[in-house]
Amino acid sequence: MSRIEKRFARLGEEGRKAFVAYIMAGDPDPARSAALMVGLPEAGVDVIELGMPFTDPMADGPTIQLAGQRALEAGQTLAGTLSMVRDFRRHDDETPIVLMGYYNPIYARGVERFLSEAAEAGIDGLIVVDLPPEEDEELCLPARAHGIDFIRLATPTTDDERLPAVLANTSGFVYYVSITGITGAATAQSAEIGPEVERIRAASGLPVVVGFGIRTPEAAAEFAAIGDGCVVGSAIVAENASGKPVEEVLAFVRSLAEGTHRA
């Protein structure tokens, strides 16, 4: 079993939902983001989503766009992000890590080189938001061959005709985007999400985590209760950008994790 499978299996045995936390690698500088990442598991994070900074993040809202810009200005590279994961793995070989971002930096590095390095570093999954299922041979299938899960996004506009293509080569879990639009731009409505999560879970046989528009422990509990867990990104990135000490950012993360685990 992969780390992702093991984590969801353990949570299922414990009757708990998964708390997935997103941070941007290198934001606002490599040292601070590494310190934040190291503290996430103790703060209750079950799966870490690590953003790969990119110059043209078309699916992200201002909060994560600015985080990526800060990281790039601080010198963060894809090689540096993989090195960050290697350092993390020296003391934590259990917490799943999913890289999230765009295809261009991977393509520029070379798919085979990137996947070999990612697997060696300890990456468990990829979310690449600008590669549709029609391009699975480009990265998804090679990633699976390296033992790396390829996690797909499903959205409110993913109808029954489109869903089979979206799920065909998906593994690990499905990320349900609870709103249409860019990250951090709106607040989701839980009443509208339940039937969609059930539809996707039934079609995929995979855990479904809900993300976008979740900013508080109360919202985390509400949405985690509907799915198999929830994802918080922009709220954590904004807290980190506030200049507060890392310990205070981790305290905020812990409050979100506790909300999720109450679901």
Give me the active site residues, please. Answer: 49, 60
Residues 6+ apart with CB under 8 A from 162: none
**Single-letter amino acid code for the residue at 79:** A
**Single-letter amino acid code for the residue at 93:** D
How many other C-beta atoms can be found within 10 angstroms of the C-beta atom of residue 87?
13
DSSP characters for 100-143?
Answer: EE-HHHHHHH-HHHHHHHHHHHT--EEEETT--GGGTTTTHHHH
How many other C-beta atoms can be found within 10 angstroms of the C-beta atom of residue 159?
8
Q: Is 38 exposed, middle or buried (0-12, 13-18, 19+ CB in 10 A)?
A: middle
Q: ∠230-234-235 over CA atoms, to 5°?
A: 80
* Tokens matching residue 114: 């990137």
Beta strand residue intervals within the chain, DSSP E: 18-24, 47-51, 97-101, 125-128, 149-150, 153-154, 174-177, 208-211, 229-232
